[in-house]
Amino acid sequence: MHNVTKAKLLAGETVFGCFLKYRDASLAEVLAYQGWDFFLLDGEHSTLEPRDCENLVRVADLRSVTPLIRVPTNQPHVILRFLDTGAQGVQVPMVNSPAEAERAVRAVKFAPRGNRGLGSTRAADYGQTAPFHEYVKVANAETLLILQVETIEALGEVMDIARTDGVDVVFIGPTDLSVSLGVPGQPQHPRVREATDRIAAQVAQAGKILGALASSADSAREWRQRGARYIVTNLEAILVPGVRRYLEEVRA
């Protein structure tokens, strides 16, 4: 399937996605009607397993929203199981070096670039619609790879991480970065701001796409001004303020 989100990024557009931590397909379907470019199913900080993600990917496919998954760890066998659901890309946490970036690329790409395993899975339409050699070619071209940089260790390696062949987006993980910098839970702390500015500058210099987490519409606009074109928002960041505002107004 054509990866519309990747095509938009390659065309210089900005894309907006929603983090989903819940396995309910009906909730995902309602959200899909709202016009998101992509869903980022959170396999790291939630209880979502590959089976849950497979059903959510079906919903995304049904409503033409690009399904992406944040995997729990940078391990080939883990990444493989999540990609086999039919997801059109993965976001890999805690990438601290070019070697780790290369490991992620090789897990996502089929040979000759990588070593991803091939089978009659949902990702390959169960082998029903095209020969494997055609599927492999399309998958290598269309699958989106996003790497998270979120530690002190990664700060000195951003340029080489971003330049790794096969990496599409470098995403700033603000919460773990704040922890690593000694100011946990303070993404606006000057120390974190200085680090994110350094990351953004190096990603731009490497000619890659910057990704960021936006906590609000204002935050998303700010990140666009800072150069981000892959912007993700937690569902809770939108849902909770809306519910609170509604209850405040009706109870006034």
Which of the residues are catalytic? 45
CB 67 within 8 A of CB 87: yes
Q: Position 201: which residue type?
A: A
Asked if residue 94 lies in contact with residue 150, where contact means CB atoms within 8 angstroms, the answer is yes
Neighbours of 214 (CB within 10 A): 20
Phi, psi of 21 (to 5 degrees): -115, 0
Query: CB-based contacts of 141: which residues, under 8 Å, 6+ apart?
Result: none
Closest CA to 70 of 111, 132, 18: 18
Nearest Cα residue to 5 out of 211, 172, 182, 155: 211
Residue positions counted in the chain: 252
Residue 222 CB partners (closer than 8 Å, separation 6+): 214
The answer to whether the beta carbons of residues 17 and 211 sit under 8 Å apart is no
